[in-house]
Structure 1
Amino acid sequence: MSSSQRVVYLTGNDVLSDPRVLKYINAALEMGLEVKALGVTRSGPGFHTVFEGCDVTVTGVPQGFVRRLASMSRQLGTVWRLRYRSKAELFAARSQVTRWRASAAAHGGARRAVLGSLAVAGRVTVALVGAIGSRSRSTSTKQVHDDADHRRQVDALLTQSGFRWQKVVPHLVKDEKMIGPLLDSLEPDIIHVHDVFMLALGAHARERARARGRDVTLVYDAHEYVRGLTNLPPELAAAYTQLEGEVIRETDAVITVSEPLARSLQEDYQLPSTPLVVLNAPRSRTSEKGFQTLRKVVGVDGAPLLVYAGGVNFARGVDTAIRALPELDGVHLAVVTNRVNVVVNSLIELAKELGVDSRVHLTDYVDPQLVVEFLADATVGLSTLLRSPNHDVAITNKFCEYLQAGLPIVTSDTPAQRDLVERYGVGEVYVAGDVHSFVEATRAVLADTDSYRTRIAKETGLRHQLTWAAQAGLIEELYVGLVGELRGQRTATGDK
């Protein structure tokens, strides 16, 4: 058996789709640790693979009748409401109607008839309820009201004596029955839980190990501000918050993604110390000969090129950038994303309606280690997040990637990113969701791009902090503090 300490990363996803987890795996391998990763998928069979020397085991969840029934119940609840509390809920309802319509077209017989009827009735409901909501108050006032209302509902649920997260998310209990024995068999020295979903599972595994006389360290990596996930139904946000609250103080260490989120976690749970901040910094390497950068891929030579790189959903606010293009003559927008979902299709339709579709370009993700080089010949990097408690404390992957690529940033006024942009003068800030404000901020950067790039180049300390090598050093310091000297043979990949 290896003399190296063993770390097991637990995720509530399929591991391979989570860039933060993959970077941790690489860092732990470089430290000489023996590394395993366990995850779960709800969209297909499980699998086992090897990633850079790490055994990855992902458990599949059968899609039985009860689960399909629950899925249909959620779909119906998304559409049929007395009111939509936010633009996100309205958009989710419209998206569900679109999916019903598309699914009806793809099937025949009774299924086609049922789905078609749902789509027709849903379209009428969305039109009526959405129209009522749109007349009620302005967007900015409504968003503030929605967030506060969501928080009140979450807090109210948490004070109910009969409220239990296990009843709201029973699949997490089932996950533990499947994954718990496998985790026990790996006999980890460190259980490192990414995101809240597997936190109880990790804590229970540590208890079982200690009962058998093994000392196991439990680390919790909070990727998001769970209490502030206003895109989730209040009951679900409350369930995850309760789960987090039951375990977080019992962990040996807490890590998170930004200083504001670290402070929020400490205040919410009265933690004895502020969580360690490990930024979502990019892990980079040099490309092979013939690698094509963004401009070559989208076919934009000398024109100004804005880039949004990352997942796309309503709350990401990418539509703000598209709505601004009619006011930004000759400016192109590249959206680098991993899948063409309902939201992406709606953005394409919006671009056509506005007559700017020839200046909007979609392209796929590249190897995560090549993102910085891929983006470097764009003109401006965009972070278009809409305001929410979770977004307000976020420092995103793309934000770090843009600065590593030397790109000036135009960001919405989510406080964590706004403060960095204003402190270092590396871009401009606009009011989230406000097209006119976005246009002004973008014009300001385009008018003086060289000055912004020069400031970014001079901020060597900031740019080093935003490398994965710097973040990996923090992780190693934490692990050494928890389990003592790391005994394995160190390796090096040459990544930055």
Structure 2
Amino acid sequence: MLVDNGVHGDSRVQKAARSAAEAGWEVILVGILKGTAAEENWRLGDAEVRLIRVPRRLPHPITYRRALLRRPLAYKPGPEAKRKLNKLKARRDDLNFRLSEIKVTRQGGGPRWAELTGKARLASPYFLNKVMFKWVGLRSRELKRLQEQQQDPNSRLDRAALRFWQGLQGDRAWRRLDPELWDFELAFASVVDELKPDLIHAHDFRMLGVGARAAMRARAGGRDVKLVWDAHEFVPGIIGRPTNLRWLPAQIAYVREHAPYADAVITVSSTLADLLRETHDLPEQPAVVLNAPPAALTAEQRAVPVPDIRGLCGIDATTPLLVYCGGINPSRGVDIMIRGLTRMPDAHVALVSVHPNGRVPIMYELEELAAELGVADRVHLLPYVPHWQVSAFVAPADLGVIPIHHKPNHEIALITKFFEYAHGRLPMVVSDVKTMAEATRATGQGEVFRAEDLDDYLRAVRAVLDDPERYRAAYDRPGVLEQWTWEAQARVMDEVYTRLLPDHPKAVTTDPATPSLPTQRSAVPVR
């Protein structure tokens, strides 16, 4: 299996590797190492994890384009301007030191003519250094203006260049538009080739190209390697980088070029499966593997105590508690939960969002908002817990909130926290993004509100708090929670593997609650 992150924070990747190993496959999961070490190895159950470094070797054109016709006086992007400025500062400090020596000598009784002569000798270097400061400042400002223009999404010149490369090279244009994608290929290729896998499970879009190229190299060498593309999101629906209009078109082209090489596609929702098949003209419908939590835990997982969410918030069992789990950014809509507290004087909000690496800037903004509204004592920023603990951790809350805004990829997914709340038997309040709203209405497990509408959000929250058992009862219906377990999803994934590699032994499944060493297959899903 291949993934473009450090594995630790990716529950889907962790569950996929562990469950594939439990099913009898020899699994090596290759991810990206942060920090200074050259490599890091560890295990997820019977799956091996290898983290490797991905050096930045081919920076994006914006980072090195000089654009002489647009800003001819601008420095070349990079450290040159700063180096020149620091050199001038050092020269200025040296001249000041020499001037101080002259003054001290004069104060000590030295001759007047010596002071005048010394200052005269320094006049020309001082003047030249001052002129150079102005020249370097001018060129540095020109570089700043150039970079601002290059990052302007409305730049006619850059839009024309984008259309030119797209027209000239089609889907191959990503090589010109975002050569940083090559960094993944250059880092992963030799690792994958050395492992000689029978099957490559490429998680998400960046690893699709890496996996496709590795499969083609193997087939050219006489080994029939199968490629599974695990599409975590719809690339055209990603919110692009606002300062780089080339980024999203490059990713879309990269995926379109490599999608035909996938022998099978799996994805996170039926809505996304439909989109992928239509967009890439796939020969068959992608298999759906929901990012649901496990129903059974290993002995090692059960041994880790689950923190008390109400204790961490400092509240008792009778205090209304609204919980949100996961990352925070403006499109997640979490601020509505804080604004809502101004009209729910007894309620508290728990945001289970603090990554082990620390808080992100928006968390400080939310704390400032809470302080301005006078509800800071009822907003609790809590650290992440291991993915297998989330459902049990949030279960003591009164309801789970998913207030995400209308964005393309928000409309088509049943996101992880949806299933985590369900397995905690939490009633839900979710925004009216298409797929999740439809699922919530169909099961009756919560209320749907209009995204970004505070009044409608409060209506939904009060409806749930007034009769929570009505919504919890939805989980008692046969099959509701059973279909939303990782064990059920892992069987789908194993069926895909087995279909692609029919000559390999049947998988030996084990009880994840009492895991034993699986019989190893010769197939190595590399990630």
TM surpasses 0.5: yes
Q: Does 1:34 align with 2:26?
A: yes
Measured against aligned partners, the alpha-carbon deviations of 1:332-388 in whole angstroms (never above 9, x if no partner) come to: 110001241011111111111111111111111112111111111111011111111
TM-fit CA distance, 1:43: 5.9
SS in 2 for 1:312: coil
Q: Identity over aligned residues, as a percent?
A: 37
Q: Does 1:386 align with 2:400?
A: no
Residue in structure 1 matching 2:7, options 15, 37, 50: 15
| Counterpart in the other structure of 1:399 | 418
**Following the alignment from structure 1 to structure 2, what is the Cα–Cα distance between the partners of residues 336 and 162?**
45
SS in 2 for 1:166: helix
Aligned ranges 1:59-458 → 2 under 5 Å: 59-62=52-55, 70=63, 160-162=167-169, 164-233=173-242, 234-284=245-295, 285=297, 287-288=302-303, 291-301=306-316, 302-337=318-353, 338=355, 339-458=358-477
Letter paired with 1:293: D
TM-aligned CA distance change 1:288 to 1:278, over 3 Å: same
SS in 2 for 1:160: helix
**Following the alignment from structure 2 to structure 1, what is the Cα–Cα distance between the partners of residues 344 and 176?**
51
TM-fit CA distance, 1:63: 6.1
**Following the alignment from structure 2 to structure 1, what is the Cα–Cα distance between the partners of residues 264 and 428?**
33
TM-aligned CA distance change 1:273 to 1:295, over 3 Å: same
| Counterpart in the other structure of 2:498 | 480
* Contact 1:262-1:276 at 8 Å conserved across structures: yes
* Contact 1:430-1:438 at 8 Å conserved across structures: yes
* Contact 1:408-1:456 at 8 Å conserved across structures: no
TM-aligned CA distance change 1:422 to 1:46, over 3 Å: farther
**Following the alignment from structure 1 to structure 2, what is the Cα–Cα distance between the partners of residues 227 and 63?**
25
Letter paired with 1:261: L
Letter paired with 1:478: V
**Following the alignment from structure 2 to structure 1, what is the Cα–Cα distance between the partners of residues 29 and 412?**
28
**Following the alignment from structure 2 to structure 1, what is the Cα–Cα distance between the partners of residues 223 and 367?**
55
Moved more, 410-419 or 331-340: 331-340
**Following the alignment from structure 2 to structure 1, what is the Cα–Cα distance between the partners of residues 187 and 207?**
12
**Following the alignment from structure 2 to structure 1, what is the Cα–Cα distance between the partners of residues 279 and 324?**
33
Moved more, 283-292 or 44-53: 283-292
| Counterpart in the other structure of 1:132 | none
| Counterpart in the other structure of 1:58 | 51
* Contact 1:44-1:61 at 8 Å conserved across structures: no
SS in 2 for 1:50: strand
TM-aligned CA distance change 1:240 to 1:158, over 3 Å: farther
How many residue pairs match? The answer is 414
Moved more, 184-193 or 34-43: 34-43
More relative contact order, 1 or 2 (CA 8 Å, 6+ apart): 2
Measured against aligned partners, the alpha-carbon deviations of 1:76-128 in whole angstroms (never above 9, x if no partner) come to: xxxxxxxxxxxxxxxxxxxxxxxxxxxxxxxxx99xxxxxx9xxx9xxxxxxx
**Following the alignment from structure 1 to structure 2, what is the Cα–Cα distance between the partners of residues 41 and 225?**
25
SS in 1 for 2:181: helix
* Contact 2:428-2:445 at 8 Å conserved across structures: yes
TM-aligned CA distance change 1:455 to 1:309, over 3 Å: same
Letter paired with 1:48: E
TM-fit CA distance, 1:235: 2.4
TM-fit CA distance, 1:457: 2.4
* Contact 1:42-1:62 at 8 Å conserved across structures: no
Letter paired with 1:160: G
TM-aligned CA distance change 1:63 to 1:305, over 3 Å: same
Letter paired with 1:296: G
* Contact 2:332-2:403 at 8 Å conserved across structures: yes
**Following the alignment from structure 1 to structure 2, what is the Cα–Cα distance between the partners of residues 303 and 72?**
58
TM-fit CA distance, 1:493: 2.5
SS in 1 for 2:273: helix
SS in 1 for 2:396: coil
* Contact 2:401-2:428 at 8 Å conserved across structures: yes
**Following the alignment from structure 1 to structure 2, what is the Cα–Cα distance between the partners of residues 23 and 241?**
27
* Contact 1:31-1:486 at 8 Å conserved across structures: no
TM-fit CA distance, 1:273: 1.6
**Aligned Cα RMSD in Å?**
3.0
| Counterpart in the other structure of 2:74 | none
TM-fit CA distance, 1:192: 0.4
What 5-or-longer segments of structure 2 have no aligned partner?
Answer: 67-88, 91-136, 142-152, 154-158, 516-527
**Following the alignment from structure 2 to structure 1, what is the Cα–Cα distance between the partners of residues 315 and 164?**
51
* Contact 1:334-1:360 at 8 Å conserved across structures: yes
Letter paired with 1:208: R
Letter paired with 2:167: Q
TM-fit CA distance, 1:191: 0.2
SS in 2 for 1:362: strand
Structure (1 or 2) with the larger CA radius of gyration: 2
TM-aligned CA distance change 1:288 to 1:198, over 3 Å: closer
**Following the alignment from structure 1 to structure 2, what is the Cα–Cα distance between the partners of residues 405 and 72?**
52
**Following the alignment from structure 1 to structure 2, what is the Cα–Cα distance between the partners of residues 245 and 64?**
24
TM-fit CA distance, 1:157: 8.5
SS in 2 for 1:181: helix
Letter paired with 2:344: L
Letter paired with 2:397: A
* Contact 1:45-1:61 at 8 Å conserved across structures: no
Letter paired with 2:481: R
SS in 2 for 1:161: helix
Letter paired with 1:326: T
SS in 2 for 1:260: helix
**Following the alignment from structure 1 to structure 2, what is the Cα–Cα distance between the partners of residues 16 and 359?**
30
Letter paired with 2:189: G
SS in 2 for 1:340: coil
SS in 2 for 1:311: coil
TM-aligned CA distance change 1:405 to 1:32, over 3 Å: same
**Following the alignment from structure 2 to structure 1, what is the Cα–Cα distance between the partners of residues 497 and 211?**
17
What 5-or-longer segments of structure 1 have no aligned partner?
Answer: 1-8, 74-108, 111-116, 122-145, 147-151
Letter paired with 1:312: I
